[in-house]
Amino acid sequence: MALKTREEYIESLRKLDLKVYMFGERVENPVDHPVIRPSLNSLAMTYELAQHDEYKDLMTATSNLTGEIVNRFCHLHQGTHDLVKKVKMQRLLGQKTAACFQRCVGMDAFNAVFSTTFEIDEKYGTDYHERFKRYMKFVQENDLTVDGAMTDPKGDRGLAPSKQADPDLFLRITEVREDGIVVRGAKAHQTGAVNSHEHLIMPTMAMREDDKDYAVCFSIPSDAEGILMIYGRQSCDARKLEEGADIDLGNSQFGGHEALVIFDDVFIPNERVYMCKEFDFSGMLVERFAGYHRQSYGGCKVGVGDVLIGATALAAEYNGVERASHIKDKLIEMTHLNETLYSSGIACSAEGYATKAGNFQIDLLLANVCKQNVTRFPYEIARLAEDIAGGVMVTMPAEKDFKDPVLGKYVEKYLVAKEGIATENRMRVLRLIENITLGTAAVGYRTESMHGAGSPQAQRVMIARQGNIQGKKELAKAIAKVDESKNRSTVKA
């Protein structure tokens, strides 16, 4: 089965014995829990669209490993055409869900691990790459969703992993056995972890020899012994627990989620280990994964931005101010910022290149420029959306008041705007803007734009490293005809 349907994906999750906790209690049925289900619906869209002929060019690809058609989220990029289609696919899914559809992290991890294991084997004569190829065939043939997990809790950021007061604040190898390894620790902020069949674990930073126990990469089923997940709270998430909630949710169908994933002495068989203390390759893996994931934001955030711009334009129309010049100008600015993000995502894809392993890597400099823009532009887009929507977006009465037999007539009467527009429709659009800019979807739009795939300074470090300032100085010298032999020494006799 190379392509699962939406229904098959959902049923496959029901078969897992996931240990998920929320609000201090175990969630016995994560698939149907009202807080979790919208995020599952978002991820299910990656399966649903792959079944539609009009989207198959973006949503599917031919596997270089099996020759079969696979979901693009399970694909190893075979050219810049694949990198470009990836970004276009992510924009499409953002448009369809207005939320985080969670499957990007695994796709980015696949491609980073594939190329890095090849180069580890090249140096050390290990067989990690062949192991990982077998794992990728398993993932592709079963159309699995895999949580790509990199971020550790980190503890004291000023200390190396091995210098922490608690050595488990970075996930580590605690034991090496003849048949595998045992690991302990946690991965934080794990997007889509509860909706995933598997976890693919990577080191969180470049390691030195003292930290080699933390240089580990492996895959493991999500319901393996010793793994538990604590669901992350989101703003306004309790609204999903209200009976009959619809309007107040803003986006009642879709959402995203993160979780803290605990590894309590988990055994990993050798066949699923792809890095074991090769600390000198941890930086390469982190850098490549981060580059792919920073490229991703030029697609997914743009798709959600499309929805937010549309909702904002509707709010202006419903308020009767759509013809005002300053409103038009703000919508133009929102569009300009959104398309600039998309341009960066496409550019770093088009400038991609082949790795030694044969899959394609994005241009790292442009990918980091893309993500640096994402740490800024969605905030301005959200600000303009809130400006146009007006204060009623965060002060209007609840849906229950609107539907109340006594209070409803007052809400209907006093929240009315432009003639001919139903008050309910105005409320729905305003709640959608609230959801994307302030509510549960903000995790997948505003806040994730800042911290997802690394905080702003992480991109600036990479931009400095990739920017080739010395090369640019040489260009300037050539144009200006600088003769350095004429430079005088500043040392005084």
Cβ atoms of 20 and 27 within 8 Å: the answer is yes
pLDDT of residue 492: 60
Asked whether the predicted pLDDT for residue 440 surpasses 80, the reply is no
pLDDT of the residue at 490? 62
Annotation marks residue 258 as catalytic: yes
pLDDT digits (tens, 9 = 90+) for 214-256: 999 999 999 999 999 999 999 989 999 999 999 999 999 999 9
Q: Of 9, 75, 97, 100, which one is the catalytic site residue?
A: 100
The H or E element that residue 39 is part of is helix 37-48
pTM, to two decimals: 0.96
Catalytic residue among 300, 312, 348, 434: 300
Residue 383 belongs to domain with CATH number: 1.20.140.10
Q: Percent of the chain, pLDDT > 90?
A: 94
Q: Please, what is the Cα angle at 31 between 27 and 34, to 5 degrees?
A: 75
Q: What residue numbers bound the domain in which 249 lies?
A: 6-279
Do 298 and 259 lie in one domain? The reply is no
pLDDT for residue 439: 82
pLDDT by residue (tens digit) across 280-303?
A: 999 999 999 999 999 999 999 999
Give yes or no: residues 67 and 188 share one domain.
yes
Known active-site residue 355: no
Q: How confident is the model at residue 456 (pLDDT cuts 50, 70, 90)?
A: very high
Active site residue 448: yes
Percent of the chain past pLDDT 70, that is, above it, reads 98
Q: 104 catalytic, yes or no? A: yes
**292 and 147 within one domain:** no
In this prediction, residue 443 carries a pLDDT of 75
Exposure on the CB side of residue 251, measured as CA atoms within 13 A: 34
- Pick from 227, 254, 279: which residue ends a domain? 279
**Catalytic-role residue among 60, 74, 104, 189:** 104
Nearest-angstrom CA–CA distance, 289 and 356 = 16
For residue 249, being part of any structural domain is answered with yes
Q: Write the pLDDT tens digit of every residue in 185-216.
A: 999 999 999 999 999 999 999 999 999 999 99
Which amino acid does the sequence have at 261? V
Helix (H, G, I), strand (E, B) or coil at 474: helix
Q: What is the mean pLDDT of residues 322-333?
A: 98
Pair 60, 108 in one domain: yes
293 is catalytic: yes
3-state helix, strand, coil in the chain (%, to 5): 55, 15, 30
Q: Both 138 and 232 in a single domain?
A: yes
Is position 77 annotated as part of the catalytic site? no
pLDDT given at position 447: 83
Tell me if residue 124 is catalytic: no
Residue 137: give its domain's CATH number.
Answer: 2.40.110.10
Give me the amino acid identity at 36: I
Please state which of the ranges 114-128, 168-182, 257-271, 479-493 shows the lowest mean pLDDT: 479-493
Say whether both 206 and 302 belong to one domain.
no
Please indicate, yes or no, whether residues 38 and 85 belong to a single structural domain of this protein: yes
- The number of distinct structural domains making up the chain is 2
Same-domain pairing of 371 and 389: yes
Say whether both 386 and 292 belong to one domain: yes
What pLDDT is attached to residue 72?
Answer: 98
Mean pLDDT, rounded, of the chain: 96
pLDDT at 448: 85
Annotation marks residue 122 as catalytic: no
